Structure 1
Amino acid sequence: MSMGSHMVIADAGASLLKLLREEMVPDPVFRPELIGMASPADKGDLVITVFICSLRENNEASRSGMQPEGNVLRYPPRAVDLECLITAYSNADILTRSLDEYRLLGKVAQILHDNSILRGPMLEGTLSDSEAGLRIAPVPYGTEELTRLWQFGDHPYKFSLVYKLGPVYLDSNRVKSTSRVVERKITLREKGREG
Structure 2
Amino acid sequence: MGSYTVIADAGASLLKLLREEMTPDPVSRPELIGMASPADKGDLNISVYICAVRENNESRRTEMLIEGDMLRYPPRSIDLECLITAHSSADILTRTLDEHRLLGKVAQILHDNSVLRGPMLEGTLADSDAGLKISPLPYGTEDLTRLWQFGDAPYKLSLAYRIGPVHLDSNRVKPAARVVERRITLREKERG
Give me the whole-angstrom Cα distance separating, in 2, the residues matched to 1:98 and 1:82: 27
Q: What's 1:115 paired with?
A: 113
Counterpart position of 1:74: 72
Unmatched tracts of structure 2, length 5 or more: none
* Structure 1, unpaired ranges of 5+: none
- TM norm structure 1: 0.94
Question: 1:79-104 CA deviation, whole Å, 9 max, x = no partner?
Answer: 11100100000011111100000000
Output the CA distance in 2 between the equivalents of 1:31 and 1:125: 23
- Are residue 92 (structure 1) and residue 90 (structure 2) matched? yes
Choose from 97, 102, 105 the match for 1:104.
102
**1:32–1:186 distance in 2 versus 1, CA, 3 Å:** same
The residue that corresponds to 1:156 in the other structure is 154
Alpha-carbon distance, 1:168 to partner: 0.2
Per-residue deviation, 1:176: 1.8
Distance 1:181 1:83, change over 3 A: same
Change (3 A) 1:96 1:63: same
SS of 1:128's equivalent in the other structure is helix
Corresponding residue for residue 54 of structure 2? 56
Whole-angstrom distance in 1 between the partners of 2:147 and 2:186 = 68
Residues 192 and 90 of structure 1: is their aligned pair in 2 closer, same or farther, counting only changes over 3 Å? closer
Secondary structure of 1:79's partner?
A: strand
Task: Indicate the SS of the match to 1:29.
Answer: coil
Which residue type is aligned with residue 47 of structure 1?
A: N
Larger displacement relative to structure 2 (9-18 or 175-184): 175-184
Q: How far off its partner does 1:192 sit?
A: 10
Sort the Cα spacing of 1:93 and 1:177 in 2 relative to 1 into closer, same or farther, 3 A: same
Partner of 2:122 in structure 1? 124
Query: d(CA) in 2 for partners of 1:187 and 1:43?
Result: 72
CA shift for structure 1 position 188 = 5.2
Aligned-partner residue type, residue 117 of structure 1: V
Deviation at 1:184, TM superposition (A): 2.5
| TM-score, normalisation: structure 2 | 0.95
Residues 37-68 of structure 1, C-alpha deviations (whole Å, 9 max, x = no match): 01112111011000000011111111111111
From 130, 144, 151, the equivalent of 1:146 is 144
In the alignment, which residue of structure 2 is the partner of 1:14? 12
Q: How many residues align?
A: 191
